[in-house]
Amino acid sequence: MNTKFKYIFSAAALLLSVGFTSCTGDLDVKPIDPNLNTRENTSPESSFNKCYAHIAMAGNGGANGDSDVDGIDGGTSGYVRQLFNTQELTTDEAICSWGDEGISNFNFNTYDASHPMLNGFYNRLYVGITYCNQYLADFGDYNATMSAEVRFIRALNYYYLLDGWGNVPFTTAISSSKPPRIKRADLYKWLVDELKNEIEPKLNDPTPKTSATTGYGRVDKAAAWMLLARLYMNAEVYTGTADWADAKTYAKKVIDSPYKLYTAKKGQWSAYQQLFMGDNGENGASVEAVFPILQDGLKTTSYGTTLYLMAGSNDNSEHIKDATVKGNNTTGGWAGNRMRSDLVLKFFPNNDAPNIAAYAMPAAADDDRALFDGEGRNVTNGDDEKGVKVFTNGFSVCKFNNFKTDGSAGHNALFPDADFFLMRAAEAYLIAAEADARLNGDRTSAEGTSYVNALRNRAHATTQTAYSLRQICDEWSREFYFEGVRRTTLIRFGYFGGNVNYNWSWKGGVKNGRNFDSHLNLFPIPTSDMTANAENLIQNPGY
């Protein structure tokens, strides 16, 4: 794996996220070899911080250098950025106008084992696992709760590898030996056992926090329940055997916990919009944030987290706040990702989406979640590949912005203060509703219906007396577009690879979409890893 292993940020950035204080000496650590004992070189707290930090920032240098992952631009290697690219650009939600190597392969579902961004994400997940393994080797007996949190982060990384690549290298130790390959079903079993027996019992009780609360950004039992619900929800994909009942059980644990849907409107800002704003750690929305990835325009800067979701999706011509103010309240307007026409149709099924500003779109859609701009833009994504590279061919997503509900300024002109809610309570509502429908013959019971209606009521959208699985699939898109869950959702519903006859704009590189082979339901193991660990690894079929 083409990774570098360093532990500690040169600034106290991630101390903010995990609620510790530290002396300067804890942060003054040189790069280390992951195969060496590092107890003498670093403190438990700073090593612990780094396990969280690899998700929020590219590396020890923040946004502008010293990335944890070699062979790819540091900002491009960002965890959330590549989660977005793998989960959104490959689906019916997002398409990108850029000419960067690998982007068109995402857009058109033509990736292979040399794909630079897939390899960058794969390596970032493994460098995160190595940081966790190192902490557990050096400080596993230091604090039971901290160790459980680190084990959770390791499990989360393995979950994304399980979901994306299937049969992958696996180790829980620091060793110079080449890691063996674990089969997908066995990794699933390990994750379930690890979460239920080693992680969840030792985590803190579920407690929503704000940025003013010690420990904001650290996981608790609700995060373990959510990850278990995700695993059980996709058990049929991962193992061949469905487990809808356990998916519903663990989703309901989150629903019944102190984490709740945020429902308070503030001024012009709807409750839904506040989840993605510059003060979402302060405005009350974090009551929904089961696992927030913290960002601060001065202390935790990244080109690969919420800045990417703002600047990568806007060109700063959008009117998000009102008719007089342009942009997302950062100076970033990179004009790349925008909506596939299929996502617009989720909100305007009669193909009558108006060419109006983002601030007016929710009212036109009768849905607060319609946070996108159509001014001067086409709904369609271009008639040819040249047209795909035109940013105005597609509505602009304005879901993420750096405005604050109290009108205060951001901490930095470019880098936002908006945290990314990697897990939020709304996900548990849709998992419970979908599992309920699958257990009840394709339609929700009264209980399952209530979960969908809770989300739609929050969005001021019309409700129904029952929902089919296809309607729930669409609801996943309306609630979570551009949040990094769509590819997994489509695969679970049988709408991704194979002879599925569910097409979207430019699926498979064709304007009106086409089926592509089911082997694309798994990503390829990177060629570099296949070469370095040839005795243990087997390439996924079709590559």
* Diameter of the chain measured on Cα atoms: 65
pLDDT of residue 70: 86
pLDDT of residue 7: 36
pLDDT of 41: 59
Torsion angle defined by CA atoms of residues 458, 461, 467 and 470, in that order, rounded to the nearest 10 degrees: -110
The DSSP symbol for 399 reads: S
- pLDDT of 266 reads 98
For the entire predicted model, the pTM comes to 0.94
Comparing C-alpha atoms, which of 212, 206, 371, 356 is closest to residue 276? 371
d(CA 325, CA 541): 51
Residue-wise pLDDT tens digits, 11-65: 223 323 333 322 222 222 222 233 334 344 589 999 999 999 999 999 988 887 7
Helix (H, G, I), strand (E, B) or coil at 96: strand
For the chain, residues with pLDDT lower than 70 are 1-41
pLDDT of residue 501: 87
* Residue 31, pLDDT score: 29
pLDDT attached to residue 16: 32
Q: Is 117 helix (H, G, I), strand (E, B) or coil?
A: helix
Check residue 168 and report its DSSP letter: E
Segment (H or E) for 344 = helix 341-347
**Mind listing the pLDDT tens digit for each residue in 438-464?**
999 999 999 999 999 999 999 999 999
What is the 3-state secondary structure of 271-300? Answer: HHHHCCCCCCCCCCHHHHEEEEECCECCCE
